[in-house]
Chains A and B, each alone.
Chain A
Amino acid sequence: MKFKSRKKEQFFWGYLFLAFPLLLLTVFVFFPIGFAFAVSFFDWNLLIPDKPFVGLGNYIELFKDPVFIKAIKNTIIYTAGVVPVQTLLSLFLAFIMNQKIRGRAFFRTAFYIPAITSSVVTSIIFVWIYSKPGLLNYLLNSAGIESNIDWLTNPLTVLPSIMMLNIWTTSGYFMVSFLAGLQNIPSSLYEAAKIDGANQWQQFWKITVPMVRPVTYFVVIMSLIGCFQVFDQIFIMSSGGPDNASTTMSYFVYQNSFKYFRFGFGAASAAILALLIFATTVIQKKYFPPDAY
């Protein structure tokens, strides 16, 4: 093929290579997002041919719906609780895993396995663990703490229980990210700190934490996005109950779209969720940028 100029030739091949992935992205990501957003302005029932335009009607109804308000509240509590704990725990685990302790390879694997196990499987296992005669109560009672409830049917404990499960599961995954980040910290920094008189704890806070900042940024954003969208565990372990104590926004979207047939209403709640996630990441980028030192 002859091209008018070298530049044009590069453009041609560049766009040609981009074309297919771009097509996939458009079909499977951009178009569905746009379409879903459009659907949110209609009363869209899959089984009824008539789908009237309702403008902001769905949105207005959302904010009058006490279950949706509860879902927002639960989602925010969930995220605000899980993200910091998960980030800190995974960094801490990575820090420990980076030291030369015995059995290091075993622990690394052990911590990582929950992350790659199907969330459905872990959810089901934890339903048993959290049940009244389950492992958690057994362990607590053995340690002398009286504990005799079903953690998933108590409105006060159901959400924290699911939060704990998620922290345990995903910490291992982020631990690996932090491990990679830790490898990039020159050991001479730690040596200088040792000579300056810092103990392990001080080294962790004054050297490790500031130096892994880019990874922390990544972990926090991924964690935020994941937490806002938590669904699997809710679906399997509590079905949003009891009394909507564990209904999150994504569960609300699912219920309204697929159980109650109201796609427009569900799409509107999904749009609100997306907006919430977007706003949070924008705020994070502005006030906690990932600049490396």
Chain B
Amino acid sequence: MATIQIENLEKVYPGAERATIQKANLSIQDKEFVVLVGPSGCGKSTLLRMIAGLEEITSGELQIDGGRMNELSPKDRDIAMVFQNYALYPHMTVFDNMAFGLKLRKTPKQEIKHKVEHAAKILDITHLLDRRPKDMSGGQRQRVAIGRSIVRDPKVFLFDEPLSNLDAKLRVQMRAEIKKLHRQLDATIVYVTHDQIEAMTMGDRIVVLKDGIVQQFDSPMNLFNNPQNKFVAGFIGSPSMNFIEGKIVMQKEATFKSKDLQFAVPKDLRPCLKPYEGKNVVFGFRPEYIYDKAVEKGKRLSESMEIEVEALEPIGSETFVYFHFSGNPDHSFCFRSNSQLAYAVGDKITIGVDIDRLRFFEADTEKRIM
């Protein structure tokens, strides 16, 4: 059983102003594919390296399969790691690269041969076994790096941004292959990336990190639909959620008032927002849930909002429409529109937001209100 328990794990570099990882608590299930995602400097690589044993744990406990790992060296943790720059031994052939760890453990030659060839077959690199790393493409090298970990047959696979150095098309292809590999190997995988699309497509659950703090640990859909704070809401989803800062004021009813626009808070939401009367809040609404009232009839939409089109990005299946609210030309937003609707820059449109998809966040703590 390859579960990973992370309890109050902290990493502080001597002399640093803040902890690189602050009191992280995660419980990773056996055979789960967990992605660590976040912007640069959020600590995701550090966290991964702490699991690997390449970074010392300042405080807290790390358990793999129920055993405490804090003091163990990487080779005793039964893990394998795939690095961003592949870290293949340049002076060895592919075969030797993959066999290196086994040779060090004095595995019998026959077994080594068997394991390496088996891994090579899975990754379709059997024809490369005699080559040197410098004679291969990036994609091939990455496979070898993965092959090296497979051969180890570890409890946990750790991936540190393995696809960052590949071109876009290859990246998409490799993503699918790694997912497939996960099913084939039936192993626990912890995967680091900065790309939230990658995270969403690959992870069973995702850990969103910012400034060393775990923001939310949840399934992709939950992160998308129920982000716990403004950061997660804005990080997950592309194009990202639109945010407007404003206040809840009591006019005839609870009204959200901001520079860009104001509208009456929908009936269902009024109870949640009442305590915030007079306070600053942030209104969040996803580009996916904005609709042209002239066209959209089926959904429950909020009150009409007048916008003016600033720019258009047709991507084929959809068009990203960049706009501002009529009241404030300085603040731009985005919505995803059916590509068949032909807008032009300067068009004035009336839109509405799906009521069920309105989100509000506290302005100071950024926590989600509802």
Contacts and interface: CB of A to CB of B under 8 A. Distances in A.
A293 B134 contact: yes
A188 B101 contact: no
B75 A197 contact: yes
A141 interface: no
A191 B133 CA distance: 18
Contacts of B105: 197
A189 B73 contact: no
Contacts of B152: 196
A202 interface: yes
A77 interface: no
B87 A196 contact: no
14 contacts: A188-B85, A192-B88, A192-B89, A193-B89, A194-B73, A194-B75, A195-B80, A196-B104, A196-B152, A198-B100, A198-B104, A206-B100, A213-B91, A293-B133
Contacts of A197: 75, 101, 104-105
A186 B87 CA distance: 8
A194 B134 contact: no
B231 interface: no
Contact of A195 (B74, B91, B134): B74
A192 B104 contact: no
Interface residues of A, number: 18
Contacts of A206: 89, 100
Number of contact residues on B: which range applies? 20 to 34
A189 B148 CA distance: 13
Interface string B133-164: 11000000000000010001000000000000
Interface of B: 52-54, 73-75, 79-81, 83-85, 87-91, 100-101, 104-105, 132-134, 148, 152
A206 to B, nearest CB: 8
B91 to A, nearest CB: 4
Contact of A211 (B83, B88, B90, B134): B90
Interface of A: 186, 188-189, 191-198, 202, 206-207, 210-211, 213, 293
Given A191-B81, A206-B100, 19 more contacts: A192-B81, A192-B83, A192-B87, A192-B89, A194-B53, A194-B54, A194-B74, A194-B75, A195-B74, A196-B100, A196-B148, A196-B152, A198-B75, A198-B104, A207-B89, A211-B90, A293-B91, A293-B132, A293-B133
Contacts, number: 63
Given A194-B75, A195-B81, A188 B104 contact: no
A211 B88 CA distance: 12
Main secondary structure, interface of A, reads helix
Contacts of B100: 193, 196, 198, 206
B104 A195 contact: no
A188 B86 CA distance: 8
B83 A196 contact: no
A188 B162 CA distance: 13
Contacts of A211: 90-91
Given A207-B89, A211-B91, A191 B54 contact: yes
A186 B105 CA distance: 24
Given A197-B104, A197-B105, A293-B134, A191 B83 contact: yes
Given A196-B100, A197-B104, A293-B134, A189 B87 contact: yes
A50 to B, nearest CB: 61
A198 B100 CA distance: 9
Contact of B75 (A189, A196, A210, A293): A196
A205 to B, nearest CB: 12
A207 B92 CA distance: 10
Contacts of B104: 196-198, 202
Contacts of B79: 195
Nearest to A195: B74
A191 B87 contact: yes
A65 B59 CA distance: 75
A204 B356 CA distance: 61
B151 to A, nearest CB: 10
Contacts of B54: 191, 194-195
A195 B54 CA distance: 9
Contacts of B52: 191, 195
A189 B89 contact: yes
A293 to B, nearest CB: 4
Contacts of B74: 191, 194-195
Contacts of A293: 90-91, 132-134
Contacts of B75: 194-198
Contacts of B132: 293
A164 B52 CA distance: 44
Contacts of A188: 83-85, 87
A97 to B, nearest CB: 21
Nearest to A291: B91
Nearest to B85: A188
B77 to A, nearest CB: 9
Nearest to B105: A197
